Structure 1
Amino acid sequence: MITINKNEAIPLSKQIYMSFVDKIRSGLLPSGSKLPTVRQLAKDIEVSLVTIMKAYKQLEEDGFIELSKGKGTYVKMQLQPETSKTGQDFDWQLSIPDYLHRSQYARFQDSDASYHFSSSMIDPALFPNQYMDQLIEQVFKQNPRILSQYGGIQGDLALREKMTQNLLKSKIETTAENLLITSGSQQGIDLVARTFVGPGDVVIMEAPTYPGAIDVFRSRGATILTVPIDEDGMRVDMLHALCEKHNPKLIYTTPTFHNPTGTIMPLQRRKVLLDIAESHHCLIMEDDPFSDIYFDRKPPLPIKSLDKSGHVIYLKGLSKTIAPGCRIGLLAASGSIFKRLYAAKANMDLGSPLLTQKVIVPLVDSAKTEQHLKRLRAALKSRRDVVLAVLKEQAPRGVTCFIPKGGLNVWIQLPAWIDSNVLLYEANKRHVSFLTGSACFAIENEHSTLRLSYSYANEKLLQDGVMILCEIMQAMQPSSTSSPTF
């Protein structure tokens, strides 16, 4: 299913091109898949032959498809790890249409690499595991029938009350009645998209941004427009001009330790962003998974703390800091926006699991958790420093990065002679994984960046794995390029 919107600002040929790129990079169109003829696709989606020919030409030039004379057009062999063969022929399944536009993040989230740098997960050894074991035992003692009970649609009241108090530390004034407990921030993103975003609605995102959010908005048929970031996050001057022209319904942002770049949006820029949303009557979805993981000083207050008129939907994930296995997230909104999100949550799952919510309650704002967070920040800062040190000593000329002051990721810019997709293919051979920059862009065909997460591997694995990565990059250098370092 290739979907287009003839009222979009993006040219039709570009929309068709991106639809195929998204499906190919997500593995939804495997290598060797046969594409429709130009004439058939033009008829199916009701556009001109010239438009299809232009899209196919660009796909061929960029190495996504190849033309076989007399046979047709096929997805070119992609640089991806070999998948196991079952011996069964499932090719007939490709005749069943689907409505998946994009799912790039799924390719990187689960990895059995020895040097796992592809997903922003924290090393299980960095959590107070014995203490959490005790909490689970205590929950069962207090409520032996807990597994026989459903959780409420809105979430456990005790947890919502605790989180209401917790949010006050960030100057977010709300009530337990205006909070929803979600199965991680990802469900919160999906919930907002399901409720407020439909085909053709304009969503503005940072470029680059969190791939899981792009996947969700693409699945809703949104028109995604992007604003580049600088060292202070989203360029609000460019955002203003875009809003004037396109009237967005939603702005998605991660202003604190931005994923993937690690930048921090200053307070003044946050105020301007909120002013823009208010003047254009659009929503801001503020995704805040990393604000508790700071290395030097606390980051600025959330945009939600400035919101007096209900323009900001605030998402707070607890998986990164307290208990990943519980998959607990928080959504704060107000007015009819909250009521509609509540109704959508009921349609989605009838309520999150009760057991995991009860386990989290005593961890919120406890002295034990404060001690854990201090140790976690120190450990992650040390791991970040290991990555930066190896890059400085071993990376070839032209490799640069932004130094994050918190969060879990380093954003690396590669020289023009390194394609991050080719680099990943070679790195996988040596059991190293990372997230290619191309997954983090909704529109741009970017191939010279990558995100390296330093949070899952220990310092020895980080040192060895990044050294392997640098060795591969050194080997990819053109012979005329000298090799002074980072």
Structure 2
Amino acid sequence: MHIEIQRKAEISLSKQIYLSIIDHIRSGLLPEGIQLPSVRDLSKQLGVSLVTVVKAYNKLEQEGFITSVQGKGTFVNAETEEIADEGHEVLSFDWQLSLQDYLPRAQFARFHHTSEKIHLSSSMIDPGLLPNRYLEREIHQILSKSPRILSQYGEIQGDTGLRNAMSEYLKNFGVAAAPDNLLVTSGSQQGIDLVARTFVGPGDVVVMEAPTYPGAIDVFRGRGATILTVPVDANGMRVDILQNLCDKYKPKIIYTIPTFHNPTGAVMTSKRRRQVLDIAQSIQGIIIEDDPWGEIYFNKKPPAAIKSMDHYGHVIYLKGLSKTLAPGCRIGILAASGSIFNRLLAAKANADLGSPLLTQKAILPFIQSEKIMDHMTKLRTALKIRRDLVLTLLSQHAPSGVSWVIPQGGLNLWLSLPSWIDTHHLLVEARKQQLTFLPGSACYAVEQENHHLRLSYSYINEQLLHEGTTRLCNIIQSEITSKTAHHSSPYF
């Protein structure tokens, strides 16, 4: 179990240990019943006092994450009853805990693919809304005309034709990037990872929005970064708080999702985009501008990308195509310039020697034609219908005390529940009813915000959306009723 201690952070050491262990548990890196290091061993490993570890363990036990058994040790959600031995050999992998890893958390992966019937947890688009038949025909034609393509490596930077086409496509977002300044990645997630492994090391300061995309948190935490957070309001990242943090800490990276923010759906105003860029320039820092679904707007087009105003190479712009076009192709585009681009290209070479050529060739004709614009228009219409359905159902069935942000684009709704509700507890009940969502705590890098959840309306059809949203409201209502009855009991 790897715990990164940041002694210059404003969070106490005991809270850092506490938060890290929670991240490990919620990521599945510490499974139920596994034994934690003793207080003495962990204090020695981390170079902190016994009292510091005791405080962390006590808080974890108070909140039900761990159980201490006298004379045996401390366990993750340990069972107190002995399991009867029926003569079968029980294989144990506990020895593997002695192998040091460097994974502080990996929460997002646990909610990306689930077995539940009503899948509201991951921001994916219904396969029925994607151009599957077209891409199937393209792949058949490519293999028919160029059967050797499967025995060829593509360019590390990405197929030249695709980069030329994407250079033109990005102009729709105000991004003027020459093909030589574009890098084809295996989705936006790899783009984030390339930036992190190139520029972020232990102790480097990264500023992120709170809440934000869990996959990015996982990557930066994995690099040992000191993460500072800036809250998001209806107009995006709070620039006043960002300015104060940057004045004090001079972060290396500012990670932001300014357009249809994940998970809240907020859109950063043009003024704030300019201000964020000015701040980055003043501290000689890098902005990672993540734009997974800027095309999915329901009323008016969002403001131009921050990258459109960048004249000195401070912005690394990530445009994902996996969500809106072909998840199975895993294609993303990274736009950068100067030596930053050269170093990211070297990191890409180290990572995988280039993304698969077949999938790049498969989507190229679609991007070069007008079909992509027609597809995006139809996608906006279909997803707006689904968003409106969920909004209507929430207004009809959500109990008092539940609020939500109305997104003007994107794939998600952000719900806030009464502060005493833990959405992880709701998820247990939801899964019993074949329903899943993303607990909001996964979207916070530092804060322990447990009373939010992200509902993705883009993946399942309208019938399942109706069933799932109604069912979710009933689960929340039952939790509120149960808590209210418990607190009003004369025996409480």
TM-score tier, shorter chain, comes to over 0.9
Alignment of 1:75-90 (within 5 A): 75-76=76-77, 88-90=91-93
Hey, what's the Cα distance between the residues in 1 that align with 2:45 and 2:106?
23
Is the alpha carbon distance of 1:77 and 1:290 closer, same or farther for their aligned partners in structure 2, counting shifts above 3 Å?
farther
Code of the aligned partner of 1:411: W
The corresponding residue for 1:82 is none
Aligned partner of residue 478 in structure 1, secondary structure: helix
Is the alpha carbon distance of 1:479 and 1:287 closer, same or farther for their aligned partners in structure 2, counting shifts above 3 Å?
closer
Q: Deviations over 1:413-434 (max 9, x none)?
A: 0113422001000000000010
Q: CA deviation at 1:107?
A: 0.9
Matched, 1:435 2:438: yes
Which of 391, 402, 407 pairs up with 2:405?
A: 402
Which of 111, 124, 128 pairs up with 1:125?
A: 128
The corresponding residue for 1:66 is 67
Q: CA deviation at 1:75?
A: 1.5
The corresponding residue for 1:81 is none
Hey, what's the Cα distance between the residues in 1 that align with 2:378 and 2:436?
26
Hey, what's the Cα distance between the residues in 1 that align with 2:90 and 2:45?
33
Matched, 1:370 2:373: yes
The corresponding residue for 2:285 is 282
Comparing 129-138 with 266-275, greater Cα deviation is found at 129-138
Q: CA deviation at 1:480?
A: 8.5
Alignment of 1:303-452 (within 5 A): 303-452=306-455
Q: Is the 8 A contact 2:317 2:334 kept in 1?
A: yes
Comparing 32-41 with 343-352, greater Cα deviation is found at 32-41
Q: Deviations over 1:425-481 (max 9, x none)?
A: 000000001000010001111110000000100000000011111111121123696
The corresponding residue for 2:84 is none
Hey, what's the Cα distance between the residues in 2 that align with 1:14 and 1:479?
30
Aligned partner of residue 145 in structure 1, secondary structure: helix
Aligned partner of residue 203 in structure 1, secondary structure: strand
Hey, what's the Cα distance between the residues in 2 that align with 1:435 and 1:204?
23
Is the alpha carbon distance of 1:86 and 1:145 closer, same or farther for their aligned partners in structure 2, counting shifts above 3 Å?
farther
Which of 235, 252, 260 pairs up with 2:255?
A: 252
Is the alpha carbon distance of 1:47 and 1:454 closer, same or farther for their aligned partners in structure 2, counting shifts above 3 Å?
same
Hey, what's the Cα distance between the residues in 2 that align with 1:398 and 1:87?
48
Hey, what's the Cα distance between the residues in 2 that align with 1:221 and 1:66?
28
Code of the aligned partner of 1:11: S
Q: TM-score, normalised by structure 2?
A: 0.94
Is the alpha carbon distance of 1:130 and 1:52 closer, same or farther for their aligned partners in structure 2, counting shifts above 3 Å?
same
Percent identity between matched residues is: 61
Q: CA deviation at 1:148?
A: 1.0
The corresponding residue for 2:21 is 20
Hey, what's the Cα distance between the residues in 2 that align with 1:336 and 1:398?
51
The runs of 5 or more residues in structure 1 that have no matched partner are: 79-84
The corresponding residue for 1:228 is 231
Q: Is the 8 A contact 1:417 1:478 kept in 2?
A: no
Code of the aligned partner of 1:471: N
Code of the aligned partner of 1:22: D
Q: Is the 8 A contact 2:293 2:323 kept in 1?
A: yes
Q: Is the 8 A contact 1:417 1:477 kept in 2?
A: no
Q: CA deviation at 1:263?
A: 0.4
Comparing 240-249 with 50-59, greater Cα deviation is found at 50-59
Q: CA deviation at 1:17?
A: 1.5
Q: CA deviation at 1:128?
A: 2.2
Hey, what's the Cα distance between the residues in 2 that align with 1:10 and 1:320?
36
Q: Is the 8 A contact 2:43 2:49 kept in 1?
A: yes
Q: Is the 8 A contact 1:432 1:465 kept in 2?
A: yes
Q: TM-score, normalised by structure 1?
A: 0.95
Q: Is the 8 A contact 2:135 2:363 kept in 1?
A: no
Aligned partner of residue 174 in structure 1, secondary structure: coil
Q: Deviations over 1:104-144 (max 9, x none)?
A: 01110011111000101111100122222221122223322
Aligned partner of residue 260 in structure 1, secondary structure: coil
Q: CA deviation at 1:87?
A: 6.0
Hey, what's the Cα distance between the residues in 2 that align with 1:334 and 1:10?
36
Is the alpha carbon distance of 1:74 and 1:481 closer, same or farther for their aligned partners in structure 2, counting shifts above 3 Å?
closer
Aligned partner of residue 477 in structure 1, secondary structure: helix
Q: CA deviation at 1:188?
A: 0.3
Q: CA deviation at 1:92?
A: 2.1
Q: CA deviation at 1:91?
A: 2.2
Q: CA deviation at 1:8?
A: 2.9
Hey, what's the Cα distance between the residues in 2 that align with 1:282 and 1:9?
21
Q: Is the 8 A contact 2:108 2:218 kept in 1?
A: yes
Q: CA deviation at 1:70?
A: 2.7
Code of the aligned partner of 1:37: S
Q: Deviations over 1:255-283 (max 9, x none)?
A: 00000010000100000000000001110
The corresponding residue for 1:476 is 479
Alignment size in residue pairs? 476
Matched, 1:237 2:240: yes
Aligned partner of residue 100 in structure 2, secondary structure: coil
Q: CA deviation at 1:173?
A: 1.5
Aligned partner of residue 426 in structure 2, secondary structure: helix
